[in-house]
Amino acid sequence: MENSSESLQLGSEYSGKDKRRADMERQWDPRPIQELCANKSWTRNVALQCVELSGGVSNVRQEILTCIRWTMEAGAALVFPQVKLRVASNASEVIYHKYGRFAEYDELFEREVLSEKLAEACPQMTIYQDVDSLRQEGPVDETGIFSIVKHCRGREMGSCIKSWIEEQRASEGKIQLIDFDKAMAEYEVCNDGAEIADTFGQLVTFRKDTRYLASTILFELSSRFRLNIDSSSRIPSDAFVGVHLRTSADAVGKNWLPFEKQVRLYKAEITKHNPPVVYVASGNLTSVNLFASSLGTIPVVTKDQLLTGDDLDLMNSLSWDQQAEVDLQVLLKSSYFLGMTDSSFSWAISNARRSIGKRGTCSDEERENGPPKPALKGVAYKDELSAIIGRPNRFFFRTRLWT
């Protein structure tokens, strides 16, 4: 998020439903990316396509942004990415993930927004809707898979990817098509400076229907609990605490922070704020109920409890990760946010909130002295807007995720 006011305009198909529901979009300033692109050398006979994009919605978003950033560094064209959708593998209260079909970009994000913003901010970059569109430009030579981890980790990105492209040169007269292997948290976003770090993430925008549902939930929270949630405020004060309770079955399999420790550490932080209500995002309804019981008289709510009628039907029609977009956007607007260290979803929210906080995204103090070390045991990161509980073993998420 930027140090600027947010737009209050809803998507056109939802704007008539309730004028008090604010859109979740931030004000867009293309100038930092325009300067970045103007300083690169460009070619029309090389194109990159982002492949094997998978994971939660936060992971996929970061993978797409990483691919776009490296495409800019290569001075190449971009083939619109596809995403691999996750589905819930059973109908119980505990969700197990498995991967389904490859889907178009707009299953999770706004295709037109990316096209329009790249055209404005980086007009040097040619965008192809798919590989078939690229083939209409001429014969294509697929020359291999580029991997940051394998080919360029620890090296200067521009010279590295250009050298690799040159080594894999296409046949004479053909367009070189390169598969960009998925990568996340492999680039220090502040290397580009604070303005780009704060702007770049706005290229990849969540769907209009999820933005509408998130703003509806905020309105319902405000109405039911008499909270002072000003639609024009970036983060409302003294309204609600947002919690990411990461207890889906896949987290158990990864030996992440267990439910009992999450509850203990979250409860300790919530008690300090004494909020009128706690909003919880979780893939495990059983754990939500147990968590609510542990908080005593403090109300605990989820998106399912706040939406009704057509809005609830709309939410239930969405995929697992589309629904996660709704939660993410509500948590962004919480008065105080609590997440857990093993989750990039939690770190992405904390980072976005940090960008409008006292330190900002790219803190000179942090770059000189290293990350702050919280005095509290069991807290990996803490500032005036968010806290990340657990071990500090994933702190690289703090510096390598776009907001």
- At 370-397, the pLDDT tens digits run 666 665 789 999 999 999 999 887 888 9
Q: Which of 107, 110, 108, 89 is nearest to 99 (CA)?
A: 89
Give residue 192's pLDDT band: very low, low, confident or very high (50, 70, 90). Answer: very high
Q: Is the pLDDT of residue 162 over 60?
A: yes
Residue 176: Cβ within 10 Å count: 22
- At 339-372, the pLDDT tens digits run 999 999 999 999 999 998 888 889 776 666 666 6
Share of the chain above pLDDT 70, in %: 85
- At 27-39, the pLDDT tens digits run 899 999 999 999 9
Q: Is the pLDDT of residue 134 over 80?
A: yes
Q: What is the pLDDT of residue 98?
A: 54
Give the Cα separation of 189 and 180 in Å (integer). 19
Instruction: Report the predicted TM-score, pTM, of the whole model to 2 decimal places.
Output: 0.89
Average pLDDT value for the chain: 86
- At 68-98, the pLDDT tens digits run 999 999 999 999 998 877 765 554 444 444 5
Instruction: Give the pLDDT mean for 246-270.
Output: 82
Q: What is the pLDDT of residue 12?
A: 36
Q: What is the pLDDT of residue 1?
A: 34
Q: What is the pLDDT of residue 358?
A: 85
Give the Cα separation of 242 and 346 in Å (integer). 11
Domains, the chain, ordered by start: 31-203 (3.40.50), 208-400 (3.40.50)
Strand order in the sheet with 140-146: 127-128, 77-79, 46-51, 175-181, 140-146
Angle at 303 between CA 301 and CA 307, to 5 degrees: 110
Give the Cα separation of 372 and 387 in Å (integer). 12
Q: Is the pLDDT of residue 50 over 80?
A: yes
Q: What is the pLDDT of residue 224?
A: 96
In the block, tokens 């809803």 appear at 10
Q: Is the pLDDT of residue 235 over 60?
A: yes
* DSSP conformation letters of 176-239: EEEEEE---S-S-GGGG-HHHHHHGGGGS-B-HHHHHHHHHHHHHHHHHHT----TT-SS-SSS
The helix (run of H) or strand (run of E) holding residue 141 is strand 140-146
Instruction: Give the pLDDT mean for 282-305.
Output: 94
- At 326-336, the pLDDT tens digits run 999 999 999 99
Q: What is the pLDDT of residue 366?
A: 67
Q: Is the pLDDT of residue 141 over 50?
A: yes
